[in-house]
């Protein structure tokens, strides 16, 4: 392919001198936490030195930090900060968050870099401790981080010294200051139209007023930065300005712009803040190439002109997390008709690689920075054809922090998380929004807001989110760069008909006179009834009854947990134990089996469990050594063990459910053992 380009976008906040793109859901990290997690806390001036290609084939930027003051760490004149993102030849790596690095002055919280550049001492190379929260820019006596603005430099310095208990000034390096001017012709904004515009869509506004100065020179329009919740501003690219006169400005609303007031600064310089707000209902991710914003689309496809998400094996075994992720996919499928699905195969990969496999995994390698709950990593390919430049996603990977934040846990399912939990489905829906090429919005109640609080649930895709997603989907159906266009879903095919329910729990209990079977489901869709089957050997099943769905046709209880029960009074099952499974049967003929559940014989226990030196020891009431014993875990894997007289020792096995199968001659006994110490 002629003039092929490559662009990697990682779902992190990207604040540049001119433009910013979407980041992932962040948890605020306070100054004490940042300082404690950092090897160095340094103040100084940052400047780009070079870009380089790492062995992982991504492009990184290497910045030199001329140190002015040290709040923590060694006394070094210069250190180097490695940041994912940059351009080398025709390959572009763009990270979100990209650590928001640029030439400028600030305070930086640093830890050893895991990626090293050649030509610089490895010991002098660092990365930001907490991604976008690991830098605070300083200008005109004010400090900006991704969550808030500090209005007094000296007061902030005193605060930081109180935390680090250290401060050494090495050199005088002047912070950025606004240039003074004797002219000072203050601009005014009479109005701007329209007052509602989407971002990253080539839409523009027209601003009227006075004293804008002409030509533009160093003047600019600044928009509220959605990647910082509107706490700071971002600037368009020079190519985003359509026209600029002394009384009128026409400028595109750049990617990552959000709802809020705007600023006009003229070349004197003097500036003015608008009296009214610009409403930005949604924001699309753009690629920047040749100093121009370019829209993106989804065409990195698998067979069937669709994108198949492949689960890491351990994420796939995390039943509740997988269920919530599929729920989020379902929501997006029917909002935008995007054609993505889950693969029937899994992978052991847990690192994002541009390999065409759209990976979903836990962050086992701890690549996610402090305070980041999850990332969506999009690898873009591109081409230049007939004077136009196009970019498309050829690889999409989604990573989640296995521990969301120190001292907190994930909450799964439809419930409201507690104060010690973060809602997994909300984060999954947010990250898939980024995968859908949606950026952030400035509305703390929306799923595409850049942060989420513990105890908060916001998983609903708004009407405006769906409009933005449909904007992207309209591009997906047009082939570019020789790629296969995506085949859209339809309202009748967007639901997961192959998954009529999500099985939450299946249990059975021997009540002496009958066996009570209970099962709980989530996302029941179009289910007619549940068939109940029984087996005495775990292989051959017979149908013994059915339970009618409490919902019926449709999905009016789709987001509710439903509980069903069936009572089996078969004498042989009560006396000897039995295997059971339930099968959902929907109105379209689709069927889905639950897992097997084994119910013990009534009041007959042959094996007893205890813990000794961290091992599970099973004591038998029979001559276990005379028969054949097999031990299985809850997913059917046979486990090795040591037999000591009548005792069976399982080494290194966790708490959980185990099945003991004892066979002596033609007789066999199966017993469930629950280990919970």
Q: What is the pLDDT of residues 112-146, one digit of tens each?
A: 998 899 999 999 999 999 888 899 988 878 888 77
Residues 568 and 651 grouped into a single domain: no
Strands (E), 157-210: 168-169, 188-193, 204-210
Domain-terminating residue out of 122, 137, 169: 169
Rg, the chain, Cα only = 30
Most confidently modeled of 87-96, 372-381, 612-621? 372-381
For residue 646, being part of any structural domain is answered with yes
For residue 128, being part of any structural domain is answered with yes
Domain-terminating residue out of 599, 628, 658: 599
> Average pLDDT, whole number, for the chain?
84
Single out the residue of 89, 266, 68, 115 nearest to residue 179, CA to CA.
266
For residue 580, being part of any structural domain is answered with yes
Mean pLDDT of 168-189: 75
Q: Report how far residue 73's alpha carbon sits from residue 91's, in angstroms, rounded to the nearest whole number.
A: 36
Residues 521 and 632 grouped into a single domain: no
- Say if residues 133 and 146 touch (Cβ distance below 8 Å): yes
Q: What is the tens place of the pLDDT at every residue in 25-60?
A: 677 888 999 999 999 999 999 999 998 988 877 778
SS3 (DSSP) at 542? strand
Single out the residue of 362, 370, 452 nearest to residue 128, CA to CA.
370
The confidence score (pLDDT) of residue 6 equals 40
- Say if residues 3 and 90 touch (Cβ distance below 8 Å): yes
Q: What is the tens place of the pLDDT at every residue in 346-366?
A: 899 988 787 888 999 998 877
Q: Which residue did the predictor score with more confidence, 151 or 359?
A: 359
The confidence score (pLDDT) of residue 3 equals 39
Residues 592 and 636 grouped into a single domain: no
The confidence score (pLDDT) of residue 113 equals 94
Residues 141 and 9 grouped into a single domain: yes
Residues 12 and 161 grouped into a single domain: yes
For residue 583, being part of any structural domain is answered with yes
Q: Is the pLDDT score of 625 beyond 70?
A: no
**Sign for the pseudo-dihedral over CA of 373, 494, 344, 532:** positive
Residues 40 and 95 grouped into a single domain: yes
Q: Which residues are within 8 A (CB) of 615 and not within 5 positions of it... i.e. 6 or more apart? A: 649, 650, 651, 652, 653
Residues 561 and 633 grouped into a single domain: no
Name the domain count of the chain.
3
Domain-terminating residue out of 169, 196, 218: 169
Mean pLDDT of 273-301: 90
The confidence score (pLDDT) of residue 96 equals 63
The confidence score (pLDDT) of residue 177 equals 65
For residue 664, being part of any structural domain is answered with yes
CB atoms within 10 A of CB 300: 21
Q: How many residues make up the chain in this entry? A: 677
Write out the residue range of the structural domain in which residue 578 sits.
502-599
Expressed in angstroms, the distance from the first to the final Cα of the chain is 61
Q: Is the pLDDT score of 16 beyond 80?
A: no
For residue 156, being part of any structural domain is answered with yes
Q: Categorize the per-residue pLDDT at 20 as very low, low, confident or very high, splitting at 50, 70 and 90.
A: very low
Q: Report how far residue 94's alpha carbon sits from residue 15's, in angstroms, rounded to the nearest whole number.
A: 11
Residues 71 and 91 grouped into a single domain: yes
For residue 589, being part of any structural domain is answered with yes
Q: Which residues pair with 340 in a beta bridge?
A: 307
Q: Report how far residue 30's alpha carbon sits from residue 49's, in angstroms, rounded to the nearest whole number.
A: 30
Residues 591 and 635 grouped into a single domain: no
Q: Is the pLDDT score of 658 beyond 60?
A: yes
For residue 593, being part of any structural domain is answered with yes
Q: Report how far residue 475's alpha carbon sits from residue 486's, in angstroms, rounded to the nearest whole number.
A: 9
The confidence score (pLDDT) of residue 43 equals 96
Q: What is the CATH number of the domain that holds 102?
A: 2.40.50
Mean pLDDT of 611-635: 71
Q: What is the CATH number of the domain that holds 539?
A: 2.60.40.10
Q: What is the tens place of the pLDDT at every residue in 443-487?
A: 999 999 988 989 999 999 988 999 999 999 999 999 998 888 999
Residues 619 and 585 grouped into a single domain: no
């Amino acid at each position: 392919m002629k003039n092929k380009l490559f662009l990697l976008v990682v779902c992190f906040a990207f604040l540049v001198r001119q433009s910013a793109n979407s980041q992932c859901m962040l948890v605020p990290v306070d100054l004490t936490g940042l300082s404690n997690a950092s090897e160095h806390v340094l103040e100084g001036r940052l400047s780009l030195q070079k870009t380089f290609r790492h062995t992982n084939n991504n492009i990184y930027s290497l910045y030199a930090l001329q140190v002015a003051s040290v709040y923590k760490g060694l006394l070094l004149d210069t250190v180097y900060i490695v940041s994912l993102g940059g351009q080398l030849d025709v390959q572009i790596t763009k990270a979100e968050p990209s650590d928001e690095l640029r030439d400028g002055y600030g305070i930086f919280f640093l830890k050893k870099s895991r990626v090293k550049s050649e030509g610089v001492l490895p010991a002098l190379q660092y990365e930001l401790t907490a991604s976008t929260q690991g830098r605070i820019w300083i200008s005109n006596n004010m400090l900006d981080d991704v969550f808030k603005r500090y209005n007094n430099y000296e007061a902030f310095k005193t605060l930081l010294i109180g935390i680090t208990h250290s401060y050494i000034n090495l050199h005088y390096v002047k912070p950025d200051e606004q240039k003074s001017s004797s002219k000072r012709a203050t601009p005014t904004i009479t109005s701007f139209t329209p007052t509602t515009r989407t971002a990253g869509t080539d839409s523009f506004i027209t601003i009227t007023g006075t004293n804008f100065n002409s030509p533009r020179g160093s003047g600019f329009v600044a928009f509220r930065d959605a990647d910082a919740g509107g706490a700071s501003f971002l600037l368009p690219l020079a190519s985003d300005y359509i026209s600029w006169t002394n009384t009128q400005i026409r400028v595109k609303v750049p990617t990552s712009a959000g709802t809020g007031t705007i600023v006009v600064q003229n070349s004197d310089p003097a500036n003015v803040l608008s009296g009214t707000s610009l409403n930005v209902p949604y924001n699309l991710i753009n690629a920047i190439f040749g100093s121009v914003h370019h829209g993106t689309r989804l065409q990195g496809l698998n067979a069937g002109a669709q994108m198949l998400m492949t689960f890491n094996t351990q994420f796939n075994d995390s039943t509740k997390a997988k269920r919530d992720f599929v729920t989020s996919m379902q929501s997006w499928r029917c909002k935008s008709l995007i054609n993505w699905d889950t693969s029937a195969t899994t992978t052991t990969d847990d690192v994002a690689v541009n390999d065409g496999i759209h990976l979903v995994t836990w962050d086992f390698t701890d690549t996610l920075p402090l305070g980041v709950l999850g990332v969506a990593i999009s690898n873009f390919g591109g081409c230049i054809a007939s004077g136009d430049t196009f970019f498309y996603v050829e690889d999409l990977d989604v990573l989640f922090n296995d521990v969301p934040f120190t001292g907190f846990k994930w909450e799964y399912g439809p419930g409201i998380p507690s104060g010690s939990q973060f809602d997994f489905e909300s984060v999954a829906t947010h990250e898939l929004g980024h995968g859908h090429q949606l950026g952030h919005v400035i509305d703390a109640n929306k799923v595409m807001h850049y942060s989420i609080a513990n105890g908060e649930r916001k998983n609903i895709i708004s009407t405006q989110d769906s409009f933005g997603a449909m904007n992207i989907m309209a591009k997906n159906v047009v082939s570019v760069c020789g790629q296969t266009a995506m085949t859209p879903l339809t309202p009748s095919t967007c639901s997961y008909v192959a998954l009529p329910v999500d099985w939450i729990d299946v249990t059975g209990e021997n009540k002496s006179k009958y066996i009570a079977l209970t099962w709980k489901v989530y996302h029941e869709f179009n289910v007619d009834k549940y068939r109940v089957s029984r087996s005495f050997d775990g292989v051959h099943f017979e149908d013994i009854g059915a339970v009618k769905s409490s919902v019926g046709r449709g999905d009016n209880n789709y987001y509710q947990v439903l509980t069903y029960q069936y009572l089996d009074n078969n004498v042989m099952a009560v006396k000897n134990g039995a295997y059971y499974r339930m099968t959902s049967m929907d109105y379209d003929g689709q069927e889905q089996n639950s897992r097997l559940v084994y119910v013990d014989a009534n009041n007959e226990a042959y094996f007893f469990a205890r813990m000794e030196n961290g091992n599970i020891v099973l004591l038998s009431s029979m001559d276990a050594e005379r028969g054949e014993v097999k031990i299985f875990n809850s997913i059917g894997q046979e486990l090795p063990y040591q037999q000591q007289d009548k005792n069976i020792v399982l080494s290194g096995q966790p708490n959980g459910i185990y099945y003991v199968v004892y066979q002596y001659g033609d007789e066999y006994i199966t017993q469930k053992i629950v280990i919970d110490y």
